[in-house]
Structure 1
Amino acid sequence: MDHYAQGSDTVSALQFPCTIFATQKRMDDYSASDMLCGDLSESQLKTQFHLVDVSTRANPYSLTKITPFSQPQSMFYGSRGEGEKISRQQCAEILFDEFRHLSQSFSLYGPYKSLIKKMITHMQNGEGAPFSSMYLDNALKSQILNDRSAENSTRLRLSDAFKNHIDWENKCYPLARKAELCKAISEGRLPKFDRFQDNFNGMGITIHDTWATHITIKSLKVNNDRYRAIVHYRVQDHFGLDGEDILKLKFSQFRFFRIWFVLQRYKSIGFKPFITNMETTIEITGERSEH
């Protein structure tokens, strides 16, 4: 611990790196309800979760292809009937293809447009391994830097805490005022992707809310009434659905989520959900307050 003489007092300086915030929900939480896999029977899916009409292409319960009646003169034209028997693996492949196809309406434009398809394919082939992407890291950084709400932005709130609580005479941040940095985060709003544009740019469907966040100050330099802090954000989310999700109309009305839930939770299929990792480092600079 560094100590600085200040008259007859001794100031203990905060040491770096220093984690100033960690959510109560923990990192790498494979016991979370949205990480369950292959735990539900056909009757549970149908009765508890009302998942009867799942796919337009294959029936995961009877393992048959669904084919439209293609003769225009048929009175059943346009309705669907069950066709040839398929294997469980073939059925899963058909459902994943439809899952990817349906994802397009949630991911219409922008640099993150392709992320949801990559994450669906990772669910199909990754066997539950964690997922990371420079696109996710960039999205996190952009969200933090572009949040200009003085009330909510963790970056702006930290900036105020540095400015107001740095010991400018001793060029350090006092250990005794660490709580002010923690408070700056806990009373703000953690980075998440629930803005209007996230409904269409691919981030709302891939991440939306987040599970766990750790924020660490890597370094702080104080010189000539100015400071420069390097702050690291580590964020995790789960690419998985729990029972509460699929019982909400905003999820169950979309075939996209019905297919996802069955692929993840049906005993006969049971593809593993996974943890999504994001991280970024930002710089916060400022100068001594006037007051």
Structure 2
Amino acid sequence: MTRTRIVGGKLIETTGGDYNIYTKENIVYSAATTITETGVETGVSYGDPQSPPARNEYFVKGWWSLDIEGNKVITNALPSMLVYFHLETKNIDNGNSILITLYEEDNSEPEETSNQDDKITLINSATRIETIDSKVNNNKVVIPLELSKLDNFIEDEVDKVLELYFKCTYLNESAKFPSAVDDYLKVGQIIADRYKIPGLNENGSDIASDLCYGFGVKDPLPIYPTNTVTTYKSEYENSGFIENVHNLFINKSNESHKALYSKEECYSTKYTLTTIPLIDLDINIATGLDVRVFDTLSDETLFWDFQATASLYFARGVLQGNLERMIAKFKANEGGIYEDEVLTEAIKNSTVTQKYCVDVEKYLSEKIKGNILSLDKLEDKTPYLGSFQKIRDDRSQKNKNFSRPIYNENKTEGLTIALNDIWATQVLIKELKNTGNNYTCKYEVILWDHFGLDLPDMEKVFNIIPSVGETFVTWFILQHLRGYKPFVTKIKFEKEFNGTF
């Protein structure tokens, strides 16, 4: 077939995207004056001819959905979900088979070094044989897919998110569906909440004061260079805490001191008894005097006193052993992260934790119910920073009526001295198993705290109680006048709850 177009004046063609021409023979341009070809970025390029795109004789479109009917279209899912892939065909008789292969797309991700998409083998649950074809019924193919056993694939991804599509082949025609990358099914765990950042102060601008240590000589501020903090905050938001990358912020690096306080400031701490009735007078009790007196003792004597008084007044039973292990790590002067199975189990069973998890689950269930077709809206990975009031206001705008657990109810049990006020938290949605309108959600909680003291800790009431105050005086001296490194405590556990869409 020949097509001739004759135009008496100018011919202008405008397209919003690419303009591709394919021909089996020649392309000829003739002009009485000039032929001009320009490109804004790379100019004009020449290369080998490309094959024209295949004509869709058999395939129409493909998409992912939450329902077998294909009406609840989705582009995001959580591991363990049951989802459906729909392929609409034409000109294919009922009962004929289409070759199908599930792939994870890598080519469009700039951070990936591989140019090869990963094949994901589908196994028939009844026959235990790889599923490679699916039969057409009324020009439609529906493939149910349970998103399980994908952990290794997810872990290998830089962004920890899979982007799934099917390669479909029938006779001489092959195509990827969904056809647009944006419509591929993105599968991954979802960060639902982050409260502050481990190792940084409440504003996220420098070191947390209770992680400082030194020999009574103040270091110039800031302790951490601004660009170093900025990089850490960005990496934490995108990938979470990475121990071998973020060692600086858990005192596991080689720095010998990160001092906020001078010896004079340590010697001048006081507890203020505010306004005695009928006298209208504040009375200051010098806790720094004890710091000055005990600072004459050796490190070994201070550690002996620290452990003896801490165990006597602040820990019982199995948690006494945990406290002894924490003090031993402090004495080793190694910084880093402390994790302990006994402590984690005690935290999981604590009524404080249970109340915190109830509030978390209430929030998650409401978010899941309202966004089941757009699960990406559950993501809230930017840490909440600032003053207590600012954080509370920011979180209330997102209906987050929880922040972090505080373990100060039973001060002699062992959790108060080990943790007290949790510094930072993370809530990660790991799995969602759905059956009809019901689901089971598995989520992970990480609690971060700093095993260290700052100067305001020496201005609290327990410092003026005879013998009891020695726990904190000796601890404070060892950290801020003898240079022993505080460390970061990490508690990680999983929970499940049931809900309905």
Q: Alpha-carbon deviation of 1:32? A: 1.2
Task: For 1:261 and 1:143, locate their aligned partners in 2 and report how far apart those are by CA, in whole Å.
Answer: 28
**Superposed, which structure 2 residues align to 1:91-106 within 5 Å?**
91-106=298-313
Residue equivalent to 1:174: 374
1:140·1:279 contact (CA, 8 Å) conserved in 2? Answer: no
Contact conserved, 1:19 with 1:215, CA < 8 A, in 2? yes
Structure 2 residue runs of 5 or longer lacking an equivalent are 1-62, 78-186, 201-205, 217-261, 271-285, 382-394
Q: Give the structure 1 partner of residue 425 of structure 2.
A: 213
1:46 alignment counterpart = 267
Question: Offset at 1:212?
Answer: 1.3
What residue in structure 2 maps to residue 125 of structure 1? 332
Alignment of 1:130-149 (within 5 A): 130-143=337-350, 147-148=354-355
Please state whether the residue corresponding to 1:201 is helix, strand or coil: coil
Larger Rg: 2
Q: Which residue of 2 aligns with 1:22?
A: 194
The secondary structure found in structure 1 opposite 2:457 is helix
The 5-angstrom pairing of residues 222-241 of structure 1 reads 222-241=434-453
Of 68, 76, 99, which residue of structure 2 is paired with 1:13? 76
Look up the equivalent residue of 1:275 and give its one-letter code: V
Q: Is the CA contact 1:140–1:280 (under 8 Å) kept in the aligned structure 2?
A: no
Please tell me the residue identity of whatever aligns with 1:262. Answer: I
Match for residue 279 of structure 1? 492
Tell me the residue number matched to 1:260: 475
**TM-score scaled to structure 2, two decimals?**
0.43
Letter aligned with residue 220 of structure 1:
L
CA deviation string 1:184-220 (max 9, x = no partner): 88322423323x23x1210011001111111110111
Q: Indicate the residue corresponding to 1:35 in structure 2.
A: 211
Matched residues, number:
245
Shift of 1:3: 4.1
Q: Specify whether residues 205 and 48 from structure 1 end up closer, same or farther in structure 2 by C-alpha distance, changes over 3 A only.
A: closer
Q: CA deviation at 1:251?
A: 4.2
State percent identity of aligned pairs. Answer: 23
1:186 has 2:386 as partner = no
- Structure 1 residue runs without a partner (length 5+): 64-90, 168-172
- Report Cα offsets for 1:92-126 as digits up to 9, x if no partner: 01110110010124434343232222111110114
Q: Which structure dedicates a bigger proportion of its chain to helix?
A: 1
**1:153 Cα deviation (Å)?**
2.5
Instruction: Give the match's secondary structure for 2:318.
Output: coil
CA shift, 1:145, in A, is: 8.8
The question of 1:60 aligning with 2:309 is answered no
Q: CA shift at 1:4, angstroms?
A: 2.4
The residue identity in structure 2 corresponding to 1:155 is E
Q: CA RMSD in A?
A: 3.3
